[in-house]
A = this chain, B = another copy of it.
Amino acid sequence: MTPDELRRHGHAVVDWVADYLARVGEMPVRSTVAPGEVRAALPPHPPAHPEPFDDVMADVESIILPGITHWQSPDFFAYFPANSSGPSILGELLSAGLGVQGMMWATSPACTELETHVLDWMVELLGLPERFRSTGAGGGVIEDSASSATLCAVLAARHRAGGAERLTDLVGYASAEAHSSVQKAFTVAGLRDDQLRIVDVDDTMAMRPDHLRSLVAEDLVAGRRPFFVCTTVGTTSTMAIDPVRAVAEAVADSGIWVHVDAAMAGAAGVVPELRWVNDGLELVDSWCFDPHKWLFTNFDCDCLFVADRAALVGALSILPEYLRNAASDAGEVIDYRDWQVPLGRRFRALKLWFVIRHYGAEGLRHHVARHVELARGLADRLSSDPRFELAAPVDLNLVCFRGIKGDEATERIMAAVNDSGRALLSHTRVAGRFVIRASVGQTTTEAGNVDALWALLDAVADGKAIAPRRLEAPRTISGASS
């Protein structure tokens, strides 16, 4: 494809994306395709010859689009907001266009330096402790996801505790409310299931520091080596907030690496009134949050900060001859390949830079504060309605609730909303009971969307039928198109 063809087709794709974002609010949020339906519409064999670009885009519309669950819909309240925004999309486009490898400073200096710079900006934007700045012993790095950030934290902690040689003695801690990626990180790192100890939670589903302290004491007596604790600020299930300060104080001087998974809630720090989410961070070893969850940046963009980058680099650095270069040898630059598991990396800082400059601190604050206000408004409606009850405190942007008639009725409420295509919710279980989650944080979600969700809940709770939202054009999945 020549540059001029790229220009022409690129304008068409930009127009398609702009149109998509303009009309996504009219589409059924959840895809209704059955398993295998998308594949059945694709040709069984790859094309022998080049195909016109316009044909490909026609298939995007007719085959791919019906198979999309619209995470960018303003009526998407399921799972977590997969944030995106115009500047982020264009930052990703620019990154693809430049096509640089950022594995080392030497392979494209701007890729490394913009990342370091923007992550130092982030310390200021979120009100994080100074120890996370690159100008001291710490620093930040963009990982693909909080899963990977947690894995890196586990690996750094394992390294500090003696590495593979000490592996069988190590024991780490998290509550049962911690994200599944903690268990997965332990498994990946070669730890047995019994090496992750589950700390009790209190009524708000937050970790109990006193129980952690007693587990650690027990493990020390048994000759095990406590090495890592994962606290969560904003659990996936209910947005519970572990008491980071108390946890860090409970294990102070033990050498235990304290990691904080603030994947969603960390973004709240852009609002000064919500900076209680940062309480205790000056005592921890690592902290991460996902701009791709609640800061208008498309996946993948997780920011991991460490207080001591030497432990992280020590755990992950391997330098083969074919990557040696003067700048790295002189130790005067950052090579982010040593801050992550894979070697290669895209220029992801561009999209984050674009987002920060497009919104400014003011714009980020405005949108995050608005989401919290909308969530609290929904919580007020639910808690004051006798048909519903809240299942967890609503401190930020997640509303957990259930119908008062029990699990099956609550499941039916969620199913009715989701089947309507007019909104999408997801679920969890709290103390064994089925709970609906409404996560308010999609970039374009406005008061009207939350009002409409409430109207839906109001109707389905009374068993009223809801006219489903339909695709504007007839679905055209109908066999191979090319």
Whether A184 pairs with B318 at a CB distance below 8 angstroms is yes
In the assembled complex, the CB of A13 is this many whole angstroms from the nearest CB of chain B, namely 5
Whether A343 pairs with B147 at a CB distance below 8 angstroms is yes
Whether B31 pairs with A108 at a CB distance below 8 angstroms is yes
Choose, from A247-255, A355-363, A382-390, the stretch at the interface.
Answer: A355-363
Whether B48 pairs with A13 at a CB distance below 8 angstroms is no
Q: A53-B358, A316-B184 are in contact. Are A35 and B332 (CB under 8 A)?
A: yes
The 8 A CB mask of A96-115 against B (1 = contact, 0 = none) is 11111100011111110110
Does A84 sit at the interface, judged by CB under 8 A?
yes
Does A124 sit at the interface, judged by CB under 8 A?
yes
A38's partner among B14, B110, B319 (CB-CB below 8 A) is B110
Give bound CA distance, A322 to B322, whole Å: 44
Closest to A176 in B: B320
Whether B343 pairs with A125 at a CB distance below 8 angstroms is no
Does A67 sit at the interface, judged by CB under 8 A?
yes
Does A231 sit at the interface, judged by CB under 8 A?
no
A97's partner among B89, B96, B98, B361 (CB-CB below 8 A) is B89
Which residues from chain B contact A376 at a C-beta distance below 8 Å? Answer: none
Whether A36 pairs with B113 at a CB distance below 8 angstroms is yes
A346's partner among B14, B69, B299, B320 (CB-CB below 8 A) is B299
| Secondary structure type dominating chain A contacts | helix
Whether B94 pairs with A60 at a CB distance below 8 angstroms is yes
Does A470 sit at the interface, judged by CB under 8 A?
no
Does A420 sit at the interface, judged by CB under 8 A?
no
Whether A48 pairs with B362 at a CB distance below 8 angstroms is yes
Whether B117 pairs with A39 at a CB distance below 8 angstroms is yes
Choose, from A276-284, A421-429, A451-459, the stretch at the interface.
Answer: A421-429
In the assembled complex, the CB of A293 is this many whole angstroms from the nearest CB of chain B, namely 9
Interface size on A, residues (CB 8 A): 147
Which residues from chain B contact A37 at a C-beta distance below 8 Å? Answer: 109, 113
Closest to A46 in B: B121
Give bound CA distance, A9 to B323, whole Å: 37
Which residues from chain B contact A316 at a C-beta distance below 8 Å? Answer: 184, 187
Does A321 sit at the interface, judged by CB under 8 A?
yes
Choose, from A19-27, A222-230, A402-410, the stretch at the interface.
Answer: A19-27
Whether B50 pairs with A362 at a CB distance below 8 angstroms is yes
The 8 A CB mask of A414-435 against B (1 = contact, 0 = none) is 0000000000001111000000
Choose, from A160-168, A201-209, A212-220, A461-469, the stretch at the interface.
Answer: A160-168
Q: Top 4 nearest A-B pairs by Cβ distance?
A: A190-B190, A67-B110, A1-B86, A17-B97
Which residues of A does B touch, CB under 8 Å?
A: 1-7, 9-11, 13-22, 31, 33, 35-39, 42, 45-51, 53, 55-56, 60, 63-72, 79, 82, 84-90, 92-94, 96-101, 105-111, 113-114, 116-117, 121-122, 124-125, 144-145, 147-148, 151, 155, 158, 163-165, 167-168, 179-181, 183-184, 187-193, 195, 236-237, 292, 298-300, 315-316, 318-323, 327, 332-333, 341-346, 350, 353-354, 356-363, 426-429, 437, 482
Name 10 interchain pairs, CB-CB below 8 A, sorted by A. Answer: A6-B17, A7-B15, A10-B89, A46-B361, A48-B362, A68-B110, A84-B99, A88-B96, A92-B93, A322-B427
